[in-house]
Structure 1
């Protein structure tokens, strides 16, 4: 009997950790259907074609997507739904990041890129915005976990310190990260993400959703501040609020 293909919809999968994860999955005997978003679809398609994966087993569709432009996000979402038809999504991977200093403007002038003063493009804060944005993302993961209770499992994953992704290229500390004792390779980081697809030991505590790069469920005291539901709500504006702010609704 043929193995049923699993469907993965992913952002941030055309380079770095995301690309490596898809590469590893394309080498498996388990068939996959990928729907990916990319800024440059032609370059992304060429990169995946270069893997010479088994097209009779796996399928891969790439649609245009610029995550900092809500119009393309909406278009990508609709194209994905059209492509899926009545099929379900087995895994939704929200993986993407940029590493820029806060004195630089946010792309497309969107205030939704950075919500507070220190995180807004052009704020010129001396503090690192990377850690702050990770904090906000974890707030969002908890918010989605609350909204999607009993419908799907939400897991936040730390892939570890991966200098090979070049995410630290704007920080001035790239060389230091390479020699850090906790540094991991890109393939190891991809495996950390893959664990979230395969783990069946989800803690009973609904607030314990953070999987570390060591394969452990992080205790809540490590990220206790993100458990504040008021903060989760504040940093998770509704679809209607975002679309109105971006001028996509009247």
Structure 2
């Protein structure tokens, strides 16, 4: 009897750690059906075609989507659901991330880094929610140990606004907010879906900071390669040894579940609610019509 394919819907899977993760899954005997969002679908398609994977076993669909524009996120969700049909979503991986020091033109009050790293993917979960619940999916939020750099969440109100003038790296800020989102969705989907946040570790060669002057030290003692980082994320797909404490959803790159006190600032439910608007609220604020 043929093994049923598992469906993976993902953002941030066409380069860096996300690409490597898909590459590793394409070598497995378990069949996979990938539906991936990509800003540059043509380049992404060429990259996956070069892997020469077994197309009789795995299928891969790339749908254009610019996560700085939530209208394209809505289109992606519609096309993804059409492609999935009656099948279920086994995994939703939210891995897209960017670091920008200069905001691109736009109408949103939020900076591009915040929109990509949190709001667009939070909105995507809203759009897929009914299917995710019916599928009892696993949601994997790719996070960062950098969230520990945030010791005063009140600064986030101004730092992630468009043209705020903030000079510091907003990656930890936006990843902190995205972790608030992971906790919020864990609460919303309790008993229906599994939610895991995971850090791939310090990966200097992902190209994340290519649009900035920031350089990650390749010789850092904690530095890991892209394949190793992808294996850390892959563990979030397969681990079932969840702690009894439901707040301990963060899987580290060394394979441990962080204690609640390490991520305690993200456990504030009022703060989670503040940064996790409803679907209608997102659409109203970002000017998205039916």
The two structures have a TM-score, normalised by structure 2, of: 0.82
* Residues 58-137 of structure 1: pairs in structure 2 closer than 5 A: 58-101=58-101, 104-106=102-104, 108-113=106-111, 114=114, 116-137=157-178
C-alpha change, 1:238 and 1:107, in structure 2 (3 Å) is: farther
Query: Partner of 2:27 in structure 1?
Result: 27
Task: Give structure 1 regions of 4+ aligned residues with deviation exceeding 4 angstroms.
Answer: 112-115
Looking at structure 2, the residues matched to 126 and 75 of structure 1 have their Cα atoms a distance apart, in angstroms, of 33
* Residues 29-44 of structure 1: pairs in structure 2 closer than 5 A: 29-44=29-44
- Contact 1:112/1:242, CA 8 A, preserved across alignment: no
Query: Partner of 1:234 in structure 2?
Result: 274
Looking at structure 2, the residues matched to 88 and 197 of structure 1 have their Cα atoms a distance apart, in angstroms, of 16
SS of residue matched to 1:76: helix
Looking at structure 2, the residues matched to 87 and 141 of structure 1 have their Cα atoms a distance apart, in angstroms, of 24
Looking at structure 2, the residues matched to 173 and 246 of structure 1 have their Cα atoms a distance apart, in angstroms, of 30
- Contact 2:195/2:249, CA 8 A, preserved across alignment: yes
Looking at structure 2, the residues matched to 21 and 229 of structure 1 have their Cα atoms a distance apart, in angstroms, of 32
The two structures have a TM-score, normalised by structure 1, of: 0.95
Looking at structure 2, the residues matched to 248 and 92 of structure 1 have their Cα atoms a distance apart, in angstroms, of 23
Looking at structure 2, the residues matched to 65 and 171 of structure 1 have their Cα atoms a distance apart, in angstroms, of 23
**C-alpha RMSD of the superposition:** 1.5
Map Cα deviations across residues 48-77 of structure 1 (whole Å, 9 max, x no partner). Answer: 000000000000011111111011000000
- Contact 2:180/2:275, CA 8 A, preserved across alignment: yes
Query: Partner of 1:164 in structure 2?
Result: 205
- Contact 1:106/1:122, CA 8 A, preserved across alignment: no
Map Cα deviations across residues 64-116 of structure 1 (whole Å, 9 max, x no partner). Answer: 11111011000000001111111110000011111112xx2256332244472
Residue-pair matches, total: 247
Looking at structure 2, the residues matched to 137 and 107 of structure 1 have their Cα atoms a distance apart, in angstroms, of 23
Unaligned runs of 5+ in 2: 115-155
C-alpha change, 1:45 and 1:98, in structure 2 (3 Å) is: same
Looking at structure 2, the residues matched to 226 and 164 of structure 1 have their Cα atoms a distance apart, in angstroms, of 28
Query: Partner of 2:6 in structure 1?
Result: 6
Quote how far apart the aligned CAs of 1:239 are.
0.7
* Residues 189-200 of structure 1: pairs in structure 2 closer than 5 A: 189-200=229-240
Looking at structure 2, the residues matched to 45 and 107 of structure 1 have their Cα atoms a distance apart, in angstroms, of 28
Match of 2:185 among 115, 135, 144: 144
C-alpha change, 1:43 and 1:186, in structure 2 (3 Å) is: same
SS of residue matched to 1:169: coil
Match of 2:257 among 214, 217, 242: 217
Query: Does residue 204 of structure 1 match 2:244?
Result: yes
